[in-house]
Amino acid sequence: MMSLIMKLKKLGVEIGQYMQEKPIDTFFILFISLLIVIMASLYARVDFDEAHWEQFKNEHNCKIRFTNTGTQRASWICDDGKTYFRWRQQR
């Protein structure tokens, strides 16, 4: 246990020295890491919402809206009287 604590302290010191020696590199590493986390969370959220949308669409009898010329619009009309916009459903 003590060995692990000593290794973590040493790693912390090394990271601190790197951040002082190369602040711009540290900024870019943190920025890219943040972008990766944001993109992963957005992707996970879309997949999560997709499963709930299928259930909601069936429960509320949602139908895709069409224009006067018969082409699809990027919206769904449901029996609750609201219009929902679902870009992934328009493929």
Phi and psi based region of residue 68 (left: phi greater than 0; alpha: psi -120 to 50; beta: remaining): alpha
Q: Which residue has the higher pLDDT, 47 or 27?
A: 27
Residue 75, H or E segment = strand 72-77
| Tens-place pLDDT, residues 28-74 | 999 999 999 999 888 777 666 676 888 888 899 988 887 777 666 66
* Contact partners, residue 76, CB within 8 Å, separation at least 6: 57, 62, 63, 64, 65, 83, 84, 85, 86, 89
Binning pLDDT at 50, 70 and 90, where does residue 91 land?
A: very low
Q: What is the pLDDT averaged over residues 9-22?
A: 92
**Alpha-carbon distance 17 to 10, whole Å?**
11
Res 21 pLDDT > 80: yes
